Amino acid sequence: MKGIITFLIGLLMMNTAISQELNCQVSIITDAKLEITSVEKEVLKDLENVIYEMMNNTQWSKDKFTLEERINCNLQLQINSIPTSGSFSGSMQIQSSRPGLNSSYNTTVFNFKDDDIVFGYSRSNGAVQYTKGQFRDNLSSLLAFYALYIIAMDYDSFSNLGGTKYFSEAQEIVLNAQNSGAPGWKSNERGKNNRYWLVDNALHELFSPLRACMYVYHRNGIDRLYEDKKEARVEIKNALSKLVKVTATRPNSLNVLNFITAKTNELVSLYEDAEAREKNEIVNLLKRIDPTNSSKYQEILN
C-alpha cells in the first residue's frame, strides 16, 4: 500500500512539473447583428472547446512549468460574419498577464486586437493541430502564432531578450503563411498593424530598447513594488525612457503603442500617490513617447 501511495505521489509531481505553458481562457462571441442558426451555435460552442484544448494542452516549448507557473491569458474571438457554411471572419482580442513578485498583483504584458481573422472550421475537423514548420490551415497558424508570441513576451519580462526563440518561431509561422491568401500575414496589409509587423518589429534591432524596457519595467519595477514602491517607480521611469530612442526613429510604431496602451491604466494607478514632481516627469515622458494620447496621461496628474 505504501508503495502505491509513493508511486501516485511521484506521478502527481511528474505531471505537475510538465504542465503546458498556458492557462488560457477562451470565449467566442458573435456580432449582435449577426443572425446564426442553432447548428452554427453548436459549431461555435464546439470550436470554443477545440481552441481551449489546443491553447492549453499543446506543449509549446521544452521548458517545464508547474501549474502555478503557467502564463495566464485570455483569447476572445468575435465572429462578425459567416460567408458560407464552415467559413468565419471577425476579430480576436488576445491578452496575457503575469504576477508581480511576492504579491497578488497582476500586470498586463500583452493586449492586442487582431482584426484580420478569417478561417474555416466544421465539426468534422475534430481537433485543431499545429505542426511546426508547416502551414496546415489558417486557424491553427493563428492560434500557434499568438501562443508563441505570448510566451515570448512573458519570457522577455523575466530576462533580457529572453523571448527571442519564441519570437523567431512566431515569425516562422508568418513566413509559412505568406502564400495562404489569408489576411494579416503580409507586410503590405493594414498599414503595418498586423501579425507580420508585430513579430518583425519585435526581432528588429531598432526595437531592442523596447525589449530592454520590457525587462526593466517588470523585473526592476513591477517585481519590486512590494519591496519598495518608490524605487520601483524610479525603475519604471528608467524603463520607459528607453522608448524615446525608438519613437524618434519609428514614431507611432505598433509595438511601442501596444505596450504603452497596455500599461496606461496601471501607470495611472501606480503614480496616484506620487509627489507632483514625479507625476509631471512621468506624464511628460509618456507624452513624448506617445503624443497622440496625451489626454489619457493627464489622468495621472488628477
Mean pLDDT of the chain: 92
Q: How many CB atoms lie within 10 A of CB 196?
A: 21
> What does the block give as the cell for 110?
500583452
- Does residue 136 lie within any of the structural domains? yes
The verdict on residue 231 lying in a domain is no
Report the distance separating Cα 19 and Cα 95, nearest Å.
Answer: 20
At 285-295, the pLDDT tens digits run 999 999 988 99
In a domain, 56, yes or no: yes
13: confidence class by pLDDT, cuts 50, 70, 90:
very low
pLDDT band at 243 (very low <50, low <70, confident <90, very high): very high
User: Residue 10 pLDDT > 60, yes or no?
Assistant: no
> CB-based contacts of 6: which residues, under 8 Å, 6+ apart?
none
Residue 184 in any domain: the answer is no
Per-residue pLDDT of 197-228, as tens digits, reads 999 999 999 999 999 999 999 999 999 999 99
**Considering its fold, how many domains does the chain have in total?**
1
Q: Is residue 219 part of a domain?
A: no
List, for residues 131-182, the tens digit of each pLDDT value. 999 999 999 999 999 999 999 999 999 999 999 999 999 999 999 999 999 9
Name the percent of the chain lying above pLDDT 70. Answer: 94
pLDDT of residue 11: 40
Structural domain harbouring 92: 1-159
pLDDT of residue 244 exceeding 50, the answer is yes
Alpha carbon 293 to chain centroid distance?
22
pTM of the predicted model as reported, rounded to 2 decimal places: 0.92
Give me the residue label for grid cell 496621461.
Answer: 297
Tell whether 16 is covered by a domain: yes
Instruction: Assess if residue 26 is contained within a domain.
Output: yes
- pLDDT computed for residue 66 by the predictor: 92
Which pLDDT band, with edges at 50, 70 and 90, does 18 fall under?
A: low
Is 6 a residue whose pLDDT tops 80? no
Nearest to 210 by CA among 179, 175, 249, 174: 249
Cβ-contact 46, 28 below 8 angstroms: no
Q: Is residue 164 in a domain?
A: no
- Comparing 62 with 72, the larger pLDDT belongs to 72
